[in-house]
């Protein structure tokens, strides 16, 4: 009898063990190439030790992530338990029921989560829609202006700039100043008759990049969004045309080929010392500060992006970006997925990531003395996040982005005027936003 009971007990333990293992295995999809991904991989053993949950961590190129996530849910594949969601997809994922609401999870574990610690602008951009928490902010970025301190602080440059433009050479506060500085630094430094130093990088490959780097100019030139309160396009205006004309005018102060540049080309050019300024996402700060990837370490700094004055108020309009974690509606292991999300958006993880130079989402980390001692410039990033603007909220956002990005490209390469390009884009946008 004893042997029979022991055998039955072993069978039960095996069954329970198998069941627990099934529940304790999750699939996580994430953007490939992000510094935050490396930090997560390093902390994964710690997560598994604490929770007993093993993680199949899938890093996928950005361009493929959305299609894989949507296909999994729409075909009920249950391929992922945790999805990484770009902030521009949040509206679509919530409205289409791709992810489940997390409000009850956050309320249940409120002390552990400390949701109020997330940066307010980040919460609006990446987490809450219609008073419901859909996603947990994991990575928050904002555009900023990188500039070469060795060029800006050079006494001859300071004197020459003052003599030519009538004001001091400093990081530009307005887009007009930005253009003056870009013109000033575009030059032949070797005397061989060829320009080898340019005033600025531009990141304009369409549609994604052309839109996001036009947007920060458009917002500050117009002090308005692309869509009105009823989600109707309003960007084909004198201010919109002025903003696009301005962007086109920077072509002569940027390296050849920028109309087809993505992030990689832009950051490589600045890191190689080819340009004096680089409007870009703050996330690339570690790249410029790493001697393995940059020739300008200790020769650059960061400022807020320039703006335009509206009734004596300087309107700077960096775009907010980043991403969050959500639980897909077809997840096979929602509780384990939530445990992973709590860990990878928690304060301990965020501080570890920030010390490594990653961009985080919690206010307490941006004011942490240890973090600021190592990365004093993080204060600038927080300020940029706090003044950032949101990209349009729309289920068909990708189509709107494509339409406006195409207009930017057409005007920039001279295929048509800015006014004509925006007129055609707005006509297309009217169909998208019906």
d(Cα 79, Cα 81) in Å, to the nearest integer?
7
> Of all helices (H) and strands (E), which one includes residue 283?
none
Length of the chain: 434
Q: What is the pTM of this model?
A: 0.88
DSSP 8-state secondary structure symbol assigned to residue 233 = B
The per-residue pLDDT for 23 is 52
User: Of the candidates 78, 137, 74, 39, which has an alpha carbon nearest to the alpha carbon of residue 363?
Assistant: 137
| Antiparallel, parallel or unpaired: β 275-281 and 132-133 | unpaired
Q: Can you tell me whether residue 127 is helix, strand or coil?
A: coil
The CATH architecture to which 11-141+321-386 belongs is: 3-Layer(aba) Sandwich (3.40)
Highest CATH level, class, for 171-319+393-432 = alpha beta
User: Of the candidates 309, 300, 299, which has an alpha carbon nearest to the alpha carbon of residue 280?
Assistant: 300
Cβ–Cβ < 8 Å for 169, 155: no
DSSP 8-state secondary structure symbol assigned to residue 267 = H
Residues of the chain predicted below pLDDT 50: 1-22
Parse the chain into domains and list their residue ranges. 11-141+321-386, 171-319+393-432
pLDDT digits (tens, 9 = 90+) for 99-110: 999 999 999 999
User: Of the candidates 373, 335, 420, which has an alpha carbon nearest to the alpha carbon of residue 82?
Assistant: 335
Question: Is 171-319+393-432 the same fold as 11-141+321-386?
Answer: yes
pLDDT digits (tens, 9 = 90+) for 359-400: 999 999 999 999 999 999 999 999 999 999 999 988 899 899
d(Cα 380, Cα 359) in Å, to the nearest integer?
12
The per-residue pLDDT for 2 is 37
């Amino acid at each position: 009898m004893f042997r029979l009971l022991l055998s039955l007990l072993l069978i039960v333990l095996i069954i329970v063990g198998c069941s627990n293992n099934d529940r304790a295995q999750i699939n996580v999809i994430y953007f490939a190439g992000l510094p935050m991904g490396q930090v997560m991989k390093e902390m994964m053993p710690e997560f598994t030790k604490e929770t007993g949950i093993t993680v199949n961590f899938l890093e996928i190129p950005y361009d493929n992530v959305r299609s894989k996530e949507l296909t999994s849910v729409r075909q009920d594949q249950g391929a992922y338990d945790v999805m990484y969601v770009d902030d521009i997809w949040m509206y679509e994922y919530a409205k289409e029921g791709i992810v489940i609401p997390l409000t009850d999870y956050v309320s249940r574990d409120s002390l552990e989560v400390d949701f109020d610690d997330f940066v307010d602008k980040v919460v609006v951009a990446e987490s809450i829609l219609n008073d419901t928490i859909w996603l947990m902010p994991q990575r928050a970025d904002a555009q900023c202006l990188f500039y070469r301190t060795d060029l800006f602080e050079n006494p001859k440059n300071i004197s020459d700039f003052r003599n030519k433009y009538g004001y001091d050479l400093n990081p530009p506060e307005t887009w007009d100043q930005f253009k003056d500085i870009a013109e000033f630094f575009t030059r032949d430094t070797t005397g061989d008759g060829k320009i080898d130093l340019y005033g600025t990088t531009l990141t304009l490959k369409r549609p994604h990049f052309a839109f996001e780097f036009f947007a920060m100019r458009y917002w500050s030139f117009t002090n308005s969004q692309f869509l009105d309160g009823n989600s109707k396009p309003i960007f084909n205006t004198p201010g919109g045309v002025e903003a696009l004309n301005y962007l086109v005018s920077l072509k002569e102060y940027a390296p050849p080929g920028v109309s087809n540049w993505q992030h990689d080309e832009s950051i490589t050019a600045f890191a190689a010392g080819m340009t004096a300024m680089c409007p870009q996402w703050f996330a690339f700060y570690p790249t410029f500060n790493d001697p393995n990837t940059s020739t300008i370490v200790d020769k650059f700094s960061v400022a807020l992006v320039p703006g335009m004055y509206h009734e004596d108020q300087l309107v700077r309009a960096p775009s907010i970006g980043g991403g969050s974690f959500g639980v897909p509606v077809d997840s096979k292991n929602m509780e384990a997925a939530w445990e992973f999300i709590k860990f990878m958006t928690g304060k301990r993880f965020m501080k570890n990531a920030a010390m490594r130079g990653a961009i985080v989402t919690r206010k307490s980390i941006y004011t942490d003395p240890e973090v600021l001692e190592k990365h004093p410039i993080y204060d600038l990033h927080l300020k940029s996040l706090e003044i950032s603007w949101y990209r349009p909220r729309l289920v068909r956002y990708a189509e709107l982005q494509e339409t406006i990005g195409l207009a930017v490209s057409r005007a920039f390469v001279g295929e048509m005027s800015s006014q004509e390009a925006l007129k055609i884009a707005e006509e297309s946008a009217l169909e998208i936003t019906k």
